[in-house]
Amino acid sequence: MVGATETYRSKGVYTKVSNGASPVANGPFGALATGTEISNGYLWLFDSLGPNGTDVLVTRDADEDIVAASFTLGLGRVVLFNDEELFMNRGVPGMAAARLTSESLMLFLNAISYVAPNESFRYVPEDCGCVAASEPEIFMLLLLGLAGTWFWWHSRDAYS
């Protein structure tokens, strides 16, 4: 769908940020400069990104193969990490993202926020026309409920 292709590679351990200017690396939850190293592990890499892709995370070795990239897709953007090990830890059953470093956690959170960075993609609930009750009104309702419970309890005893 995004025009990228992938390839399998024997397991690697270290990656580094290749584009510190990207909102994935430099976003609302933190900033990672180009060259910041991350320990995460990978098996799959991108062969090519197609015309709409920009690399964000590459292998630390001299080849600098692409592990993660952002893509323009229609009016929005999508971020793809080409391996699940950045987010999942199979060593602890039921535990996701257990081995994230502070750097990869920032990258993870920024990537999530980067999926819809444009204000027009933000979810805005419809106006229900509801009016919030003030504290005195809530307090009165509570007292009426307690008084009703008291009257019900005592009237029940009167007829038994």
- Buried b vs exposed e over 32-51: b needs ≥16 C-beta within 10 Å? beeebebebbbeebbeebee
Task: In whole angstroms, give the CA distance from residue 128 to residue 35.
Answer: 48
Location of structure tokens 């980067």? 114
Sorted by where each begins, the domain ranges of the chain are 5-121
Q: How far apart are CA 86 and CA 109, in angstroms?
A: 12
Give tens-digit pLDDT for 70-98.
988 777 788 888 765 555 554 555 555 55
- Over the stretch 96-113, which tens digit does the pLDDT of each residue have? 555 667 787 888 888 888
CA 138 vs. chain centroid, Å, equals: 36
CA distance 124 to 132: 18
Q: Which of 71, 74, 62, 59 is nearest to 22 (CA)?
A: 71
